[in-house]
Amino acid sequence: MKRSQIETAWTGRADCRSCGVRALVLFADLQEADFELIHQPIEDIHIGAGQTLYRGDTPGRSLFTVRSGLIKLVHVGADGSQRIVRLLRPGATAGLEVLVGTTYAHDAIALQPVTVCRIPCDVIDKLSRETPRLHTQLMQRWHDSLRQADEFLTELSTGRATKRLGRLLLQLAEPDGSVILPTREDMGAMLGMTLEHASRTVSELKRLDAIFEVAGNRYRCNLEVLASISATPRSEL
Amino acid sequence: MKRSQIETAWTGRADCRSCGVRALVLFADLQEADFELIHQPIEDIHIGAGQTLYRGDTPGRSLFTVRSGLIKLVHVGADGSQRIVRLLRPGATAGLEVLVGTTYAHDAIALQPVTVCRIPCDVIDKLSRETPRLHTQLMQRWHDSLRQADEFLTELSTGRATKRLGRLLLQLAEPDGSVILPTREDMGAMLGMTLEHASRTVSELKRLDAIFEVAGNRYRCNLEVLASISATPRSEL
DNA sequence: CGGCTTCTTGAAGATATTCAAACCCAGTGG
DNA sequence: CCACTGGGTTTGAATATCTTCAAGAAGCCG
């Protein structure tokens, strides 16, 4: 779990105009002319599962747009305890806090192979000054982060383990019900429980026919059962 | 706990230029000329302890700057369970989410008598367009909210009850160590535990000489003891 | 003084953690 | 080929922690 350093496989300067996921990302609203204002390279970075994009409390002058994959933001406590505070999917932005401060607030670590764009703060600052079209998207990112933070608190930190895990799976599952489960350690770090208890709870969901093991750690969810477990079990189970 | 409706004691249009707490608030950086851009009334609102400023899921076109007092933001779950997700102190902004969406995300309820300024979104939108000086402060508010959200998750939702309560008290205490404790129910809603357990945990902190009852629900904290309790008790107690 | 709400405490039972051992599986090297 | 190793997983048993239900105590207010 603590294997890798940053080792960024740099793939060259990105062309934002023709970005495949641009509709999703921070630059969604920018117009042709706005791109002329970008005078610094925006790197396209690939990192493997388990690798670290940046570490908390380290200075930084760039933020990152997630193009593909899944990133965990991990808060490391004074006592070394780890807690995952957010998950970043494609379209999300990592490291917004450097626009206000000077250091990153969390460790950002890939859960799956990830591609991100590295955007220097100066580019954001310049665009903010010159065009109002970035402003809305920036606020949207802050808002999304805050919404997810609230969700982690209310959905994933409250109630029984079974309920919490059920809700996590509903968040992680594809619309068709398939999921790749994180390690039990990561599940524990998201749900505020030990990895052993996370493991037991996975077993319990299997027993309840809420999830089925398809292969390795690929599962298929019974979304109805999961939903009923996630909603108010005061009497049941 | 569910006594009051909004009943706003309106005290008239605020004069932001001469605001006593302006250095703290959203308009901190505005200059004389910027105030000319404000063409809608900014109301100065007083509400009593226990009263509601706004409710979640209701439409709104205003946000609020807290001038004095203490406000809790409460998330009400589908099952009626309540969880306090943030506390707003003087200088903080409530209801930022209406800048991005159309409804408030939480119930905002005064824990102590509160004075706030009600600022129409249109004012913010106009100022955002005309002056860059609001932009930084807006980002700062989003950032502060997010930082506190992370803190609630990592400090107040993880670990033993004793530790969590200790950390809450450190947050609530004045520099001299005095605190007015919230109701046990509110403590429970912040710490993710039942009010009974919150009560027991308060008793335990008294037994540990971490806090002393001074009067009613005024306490005095022994900050050193609290700090040691809050930091990594794996062996102790 | 009631009558109310909030707080406290007890005891039983539910839920989660800890420590330990065993298991699975993929990769390694004899 | 197969034993060996290492990381992640599962399970068991004992213990710690928290919740629930219930009752009593302490404040506060008309």
Domain boundaries, chain A: 9-155, 161-230
What mean pLDDT do residues A98-123 have?
96
**B9 with B47: CB under 8 angstroms?**
yes
What mean pLDDT do residues A57-65 have?
97
Residue A202 has pLDDT above 80, yes or no: yes
What gap in Å lies between CA B119 and CA B40, rounded to an integer?
A: 9
What mean pLDDT do residues A198-202 have?
98
- The pair of structure tokens assigned to A236 is 């049941």
Over the stretch A128-184, which tens digit does the pLDDT of each residue have? 988 888 999 999 999 999 999 999 999 999 999 999 999 999 999 999 999 999 999
What pLDDT is attached to residue B211?
97
Interface test with B, best of A139, A229, A235 (most B CBs within 10 A): A139
What pLDDT is attached to residue B133?
86
- B71 forms beta bridges with B88, B110
Phi, psi of B92 (to 5 degrees): -75, 165
Provide the CATH topology of domain A9-155.
Jelly Rolls (2.60.120)
What pLDDT is attached to residue B16?
83
Percent of chain A surpassing pLDDT 90: 76
Class of domain B160-230: mainly alpha
What gap in Å lies between CA A225 and CA B26, rounded to an integer?
A: 46
What gap in Å lies between CA A230 and CA B137, rounded to an integer?
A: 38
What pLDDT is attached to residue A18?
83
B108-147 core/surface letters (b: 16 or more CB in 10 A; e: else): bbbbeebbbbbbbbebbebbbeeeeebbeebbbbbbbbbe
Do the domains B9-154 and B160-230 sit in the same CATH topology, yes or no?
no
Phi, psi of B195 (to 5 degrees): -65, -30
What architecture is domain A161-230? Orthogonal Bundle (1.10)
Residue closest to sugar C1' of D16 by CA: B160
Distance from CA(A7) to C1'(D3), angstroms, rounded: 35
A79, A157, A192 member nearest B232 (Cβ): A79
The band of B136, judged by pLDDT with boundaries at 50, 70 and 90, is very high
Q: Which amino acid is it at A169? A: L
**B189 with B74: CB under 8 angstroms?**
yes
Pair type for strands B107-110 and B71-76:
antiparallel
Q: Chain B contact for A96, CB < 8 A?
A: yes
Residue B113 has pLDDT above 90, yes or no: yes
The band of B3, judged by pLDDT with boundaries at 50, 70 and 90, is very low
What gap in Å lies between CA B117 and CA A22, rounded to an integer?
A: 38
Mean pLDDT of chain B: 91
What pLDDT is attached to residue B225?
96
What pLDDT is attached to residue B11?
52
Is A12 exposed, middle or buried (CB count within 10 Å of its CB: 0-12, 13-18, 19+)?
A: exposed
What gap in Å lies between CA B106 and CA B100, rounded to an integer?
A: 15
What pLDDT is attached to residue B149?
98
What pLDDT is attached to residue A12?
53
Q: Chain A contact for B158, CB < 8 A?
A: yes
B122 CB below 7 A from strand C atoms:
no
**B26 with B96: CB under 8 angstroms?**
no
Residue B64 has pLDDT above 70, yes or no: yes
Q: Mention every residue, 6+ apart, whose C-beta is less than 8 A from residue B229.
A: B162, B163, B166, B205, B208, B210, B236, B237
Mark yes or no for CB contact B154/A97 under 8 Å.
no
What pLDDT is attached to residue A19?
86
Which residues in chain B are contacts of A143 at CB distance < 8 A? 96-97, 100-101, 142
Over the stretch B30-54, which tens digit does the pLDDT of each residue have? 888 889 888 888 999 999 999 999 9
Interface test with B, best of A73, A158, A160, A235 (most B CBs within 10 A): A158
Residue A9 has pLDDT above 70, yes or no: no
**B157 with B191: CB under 8 angstroms?**
yes
- In Å, how far from its chain's centre is CA B103? 19
Percent of chain B surpassing pLDDT 70: 92
Provide the CATH topology of domain B9-154.
Jelly Rolls (2.60.120)
